[in-house]
Amino acid sequence: METSKKKLGEDHPDTLTSMNNLVVTYMNQGRWDAAEELQVQVLETRKKKLGEDHPSTLTSMANLASTYRNQGRWDAAEELKVQVMETRKKKLGEDHPSTLTSMHNLLFTWKALGKNREAIHLMQDCARLRRSKLGPLYPNTVSSTTILATWEAGGADSEWAEPVSSR
């Protein structure tokens, strides 16, 4: 990362990729504060360089939201996840696989915040759109359908872990 910064500059895409790779290492080590600090740098640089609605910027936002979640900062995580989902809906459409992943990840945050009705409603939409777009046997469709059935049977009080977001 440091070599990329010196040779290519701090805002070069390869440097940002190196920084993001280090973020993933920090996350895997549970070093959430270090991950957050570096993620904020990557996110701000991508916003300036690529724009707020660029796919790489949105991925950085989603990853920062995951860090906030792991720090127990649910409100901050929710805010970013909603922003990512809404932006992807506008840019890519509501049934695009990236939008559906954003929906799927947001509903776990809502569940953790006690917004069970909202989480189930969003999961119903996500499962329906995944069935329509990806087919009933696609792994993500099966996952959404299974979680939905579990939550509906248990009133969304049953445990189910949030998947790790793409990095």
Instruction: Report whether pLDDT(65) > 70.
Output: yes
User: Domain span at residue 148?
Assistant: 95-159
- Please check whether residue 2 lies inside any domain of the structure: yes
Confidence of residue 166 (pLDDT cuts 50, 70, 90): very low
Please tell me whether residues 65 and 117 are part of one structural domain. no
Please tell me whether residues 58 and 106 are part of one structural domain. no
Helical ranges in the chain per DSSP H: 2-8, 13-28, 32-50, 55-70, 74-92, 97-112, 116-134, 139-154
- Please check whether residue 53 lies inside any domain of the structure: yes
Q: State pLDDT tens for residues 115-149.
A: 999 999 999 999 999 999 999 999 999 999 999 99
Q: What does 1-22 look like in DSSP terms, one character per residue?
A: -HHHHHHH-TTSHHHHHHHHHH
Mean pLDDT of the chain: 89
- Please check whether residue 44 lies inside any domain of the structure: yes
Q: State pLDDT tens for residues 11-37.
A: 888 899 899 899 989 999 999 999 999
Residue 116 identity (one-letter amino acid)? N
Q: How many domains does the chain have?
A: 2
- 130's torsion region: left (phi>0), alpha (psi -120 to 50) or beta? alpha
pTM, entire model = 0.84
User: What tokens appear for 145 in the block?
Assistant: 């359908």
Please tell me whether residues 113 and 50 are part of one structural domain. no
Please tell me whether residues 11 and 63 are part of one structural domain. yes
Which whole number is the average pLDDT over 162-167?
44
Dihedral sign for Cα 122, 123, 124, 128, please.
Answer: positive
| Cα separation, 71 vs 32, whole angstroms | 7
* Terminal Cα-to-Cα distance of the chain (whole angstroms): 17
Query: What CATH number has the domain bearing residue 14?
Result: 1.25.40
| Cα separation, 109 vs 143, whole angstroms | 17
- Please check whether residue 86 lies inside any domain of the structure: no
